Amino acid sequence: MARAIVNLPASAKRGEIIEIKALAAHEMETGFRRTQYGALVPRDIITSFVCTYNGVEIFSADFHPAIAANPYLAFSTIATESGTIACKWTGDNGYSLTESVAISVA
């Protein structure tokens, strides 16, 4: 279930502050839990998140094992030009997910 929901206004005025909400489907297995037979469940988490606005990085975050499953981030930026806002999650076991949303700025 590699899915994500990225929410931001479809259009904005130049110079306006917009909120970006990013939700990714991920188990975020901590690596500290054990099965009922005592075997360690290997760690499987998202390790980093990067958001770019027309290729320029505007927000990034490092994720750690204590972050809940299906992590949700909300942050803001200034609408400068029309284009694409792309969110990219990367993690253990080659996990990579990119979700892009278009924005038109007048």
Determine which residue in the list 40, 41, 69, 78 makes contact with other proteins, applying CB under 8 A: 69
Q: Which stretch binds other proteins (CB under 8 A): 2-10, 42-50, 76-84, 88-96?
A: 2-10
Contact pattern for other proteins over residues 11 through 30, marking x by CB under 8 A: ----------x-x-x-xx--
Which H or E element spans position 99? strand 95-105
70 binds other proteins (CB under 8 A): yes
Nearest 5°: the CA angle 51, 62, 21 is: 40
The residue among 25 and 50 lying less far from other proteins, judged by its C-beta, is 25
Task: Compare residues 40 and 74 and give the one whose CB is closer to other proteins.
Answer: 74
Cα 62 to Cα 47, 91, 106: the distances in Å are 6, 10, 33
Are 6 and 21 in contact by the 8 Å Cβ rule? The answer is yes
Q: Which residue has the tokens 């970006």?
A: 20
Binding of residue 74 to other proteins (CB under 8 A): yes
The label of the residue with tokens 């005025």 reads: 13
Q: Where on the chain is the footprint of other proteins (CB under 8 A)?
A: 1, 3-5, 7, 21, 23, 25, 27-28, 68-70, 72, 74
